[in-house]
Amino acid sequence: MSFELRSQSYEENSKGLLNGQIFPSTFATLSGALRLLAEDKQIALKCATQARVEVEGDPARLKQVVVNLVDNAIKYTTEGGEVDITVQALNGNAVLEVSDTGIGIPREALPHVFERFYRVDRARSRKMGGAGLGLSIVKSICAAHGGDIHVESSDGKGSRFRVDLPLAKGLGKDGQSKPHSASGR
């Protein structure tokens, strides 16, 4: 199973759009790099992806989204918990979900978690590290790629972050290549 990104060239065309080329990336490998962090806390890290989901974008920035969300999930999940990562094509979007059985986010904090420098609990944040920029950066990267991010959480019961990005051009709503007509159109 793989997660494929189409990389963007650094040169913009005249319409202000970024030109794409295929850049394969094995999603399981990326999660494997984070598996060590999970193992240190005895957290089960589970990955489920469709055979092929492609988005157009900057691979380094899109990997940054995945790494930040998974790192946060591991960081805020207590020992013996679980982090689930899923990638699928759904309704014309590539959907990445990172859910955990961690400490969760209080309801009153949810509208603010994507704000720059916002910290749910400053005392907890000092212990865990970070500057309160990660989720703000993730949201900006998603927006720059024509997508969005949402969070659902209950204090003490874990969180689920969902990233929706447009599928790469030429793919159907299910992430599969669109068939070409015999006439070449």
Per-residue confidence (pLDDT) for residue 125, from 0 to 100: 52
Three-class DSSP category at 116: coil
pLDDT in tens, 97-138: 999 999 999 999 899 889 887 777 655 555 566 667 889 999
Across the range 50-78, mean pLDDT stands at 87
70: left (phi over 0), alpha (psi -120 to 50) or beta: alpha
Tell me the C-alpha distance between 112 and 166, whole Å: 25
Per-residue confidence (pLDDT) for residue 14, from 0 to 100: 26
- Answer yes or no: is 121 within a domain: yes
pLDDT in tens, 129-176: 666 788 999 999 999 999 999 999 998 899 999 999 998 877 555 555
Give 14: exposed, middle or buried? Use CB within 10 Å, 0-12, 13-18, 19+.
exposed
- Split at pLDDT 50, 70, 90, the class of 49 is confident
Q: Which of 99, 65, 67, 105 is nearest to 81 (CA)?
A: 99
- Split at pLDDT 50, 70, 90, the class of 28 is low
Q: Which of 33-42, 61-70, 88-97, 157-166 has the highest mean pLDDT?
A: 157-166
How many CA atoms lie less than 13 Å away from 162 in the CB half-sphere? 12
- Structural domain boundaries, residue 104: 3-9+17-166
**Going by C-beta distance under 8 Å and a sequence separation of 6 or more, which residues neighbour residue 13?**
19
- Answer yes or no: is 33 within a domain: yes
Per-residue confidence (pLDDT) for residue 68, from 0 to 100: 92
- Answer yes or no: is 185 within a domain: no
% of the chain at pLDDT higher than 90: 37
Tell me the C-alpha distance between 126 and 9, whole Å: 38
- Overall pTM surpassing 0.95 (yes/no): no
- Answer yes or no: is 130 within a domain: yes
- Residue pair 31/78 in contact by the 8 Å Cβ criterion: no
**What CATH number does residue 107 fall under?**
3.30.565.10
Q: Report CA 13 to chain centroid distance, whole Å.
A: 27
Kindly tell me if the per-residue pLDDT of 34 is higher than 70. yes
Across the range 35-50, mean pLDDT stands at 87
Per-residue confidence (pLDDT) for residue 62, from 0 to 100: 87
- Answer yes or no: is 174 within a domain: no
Per-residue confidence (pLDDT) for residue 171, from 0 to 100: 54
- Answer yes or no: is 89 within a domain: yes
Our count of domains for the chain comes to 1
- Residue pair 142/65 in contact by the 8 Å Cβ criterion: yes
- Answer yes or no: is 107 within a domain: yes
- Answer yes or no: is 99 within a domain: yes
Kindly tell me if the per-residue pLDDT of 37 is higher than 90. no
Across all residues in the chain, what is the average pLDDT?
A: 75
Per-residue confidence (pLDDT) for residue 47, from 0 to 100: 83
